[in-house]
């Protein structure tokens, strides 16, 4: 499997600040933030599957544009995979005719541009030889992370999450773990905000990484624009022994 980072920022502004969007091979998205807009029309038309971690705008904002752009070019609907709670939010608050048309009903109810598939934590979805398994997340709305497993290696994306013992229990059971992408949305001075919004700050990241029992390359995502240097310095100060690195736009992982 190959994962290409199209966006990994906690906000926008500047050439490389795109919100969370990962392209897996040519046909799978993990979230669909503002980074999706950098793909060509031909690349967009090849996307068959969108796995959503949660319903916040920085992770779903480009799904409506994707479906509107390529729906008529395809012979089958795009499948959006999400937890039952997230599917309900998307139906009620995004594809609801007020914010955007309900493409799960059009152009025809029996031939829509969009279909939903509910996923559950711990139950893998198989796509050919690839396995994508929802993992526990602890956020302010229904949320999951994902394990991407090629059979020879796995990449874990935490999604947006606060402290989360259940995640580490699942991660520590992954024998072929190669990469861990984990969020850190706030600097230490904003720890109270991180706690109430169920994100991590550097000190909390260090506390969480202490629960990891597997060897993996660790990358930090979801940094807030304007605090990137401060937050990465704080991560260096408190978690250097885990050797975390800042995730970069256009970075590629093969596993």
CB contact set of 169 (below 8 Å; sequence gap of 6+)? none
pLDDT at 35: 95
Name the 3-class secondary structure at 64.
helix
Q: What confidence tier does 154 reach under pLDDT thresholds 50, 70, 90?
A: very high
CB contact set of 158 (below 8 Å; sequence gap of 6+)? 135, 137, 145, 164, 167, 180, 181, 182, 183
pLDDT at 74: 95
Nearest to 155 by CA among 218, 84, 207, 100: 218
Query: Pairing between strand 28-32 and 21-24?
Result: antiparallel
Residues β-bridged to residue 18:
none
Query: Pairing between strand 49-51 and 28-32?
Result: parallel
Q: What confidence tier does 16 reach under pLDDT thresholds 50, 70, 90?
A: confident
| Residues 29, 113 contacting (CB under 8 angstroms) | no
pLDDT at 75: 94
User: The domain spanning residue 131 has which CATH number?
Assistant: 3.60.15.10
Residue percentage of the chain with pLDDT more than 90: 98
Task: Using the predicted structure, report yes or no on whether residue 15 has a pLDDT greater than 80.
Answer: no
The H or E element spanning position 144 is: strand 144-149
Number of domains in the chain: 1
What is the rounded average pLDDT of the residues 58-85?
A: 97
Q: Could you tell me the residue range of the domain that residue 154 belongs to? A: 2-254
pLDDT at 12: 94
What is the rounded average pLDDT of the residues 101-108?
A: 97
Task: Using the predicted structure, report yes or no on whether residue 224 has a pLDDT greater than 90.
Answer: yes
Number of neighbours of residue 128 by Cβ within 10 angstroms: 7
Task: Using the predicted structure, report yes or no on whether residue 109 has a pLDDT greater than 80.
Answer: yes
C-alpha dist (Å) from residue 231 to 119, 123, 164, 250: 33, 34, 20, 21
pLDDT at 166: 98
pLDDT at 192: 98
| Residues 138, 162 contacting (CB under 8 angstroms) | yes
How far is residue 133 CA from its own chain's centroid?
13
What is the rounded average pLDDT of the residues 173-195?
A: 98
CA end-to-end span of the chain: 5
Sign of the dihedral defined by the CA atoms of residues 59, 17, 7, 72, in that order = positive
């Amino acid at each position: 499997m190959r994962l290409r980072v199209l966006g990994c920022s906690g906000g926008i502004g500047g050439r490389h600040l795109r919100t969370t969007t990962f392209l897996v091979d040519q046909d799978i998205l993990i979230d669909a933030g503002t980074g999706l807009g950098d793909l060509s029309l031909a690349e967009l038309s090849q996307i068959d599957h969108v796995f959503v971690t949660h319903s916040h705008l920085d992770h779903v904002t480009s799904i409506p544009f994707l479906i509107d752009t390529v729906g008529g070019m395809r012979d089958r609907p795009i499948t959006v995979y999400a937890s039952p709670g997230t599917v309900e939010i998307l139906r009620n608050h995004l594809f609801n005719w007020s914010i955007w048309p309900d493409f799960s009903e059009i152009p025809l109810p029996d031939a829509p541009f969009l279909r939903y598939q509910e996923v559950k934590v711990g139950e893998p979805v198989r796509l050919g030889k690839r396995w994508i398994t929802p993992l526990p997340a602890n956020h302010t709305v229904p949320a999951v992370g994902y394990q991407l497993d090629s059979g020879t290696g796995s990449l874990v994306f935490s999604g947006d999450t606060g402290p989360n013992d259940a995640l580490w229990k699942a991660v520590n059971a992954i024998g072929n773990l190669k990469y861990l992408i984990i969020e850190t949305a706030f600097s230490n001075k904003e720890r109270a905000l991180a706690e109430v919004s169920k994100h991590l700050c550097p000190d909390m990241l260090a506390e969480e990484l202490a629960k990891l029992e597997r060897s993996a390359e660790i990358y930090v995502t979801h940094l807030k624009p304007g605090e990137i240097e401060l937050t990465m310095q704080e991560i260096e100060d408190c978690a250097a022994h885990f050797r975390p690195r800042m995730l970069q736009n256009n970075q590629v992982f093969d596993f």
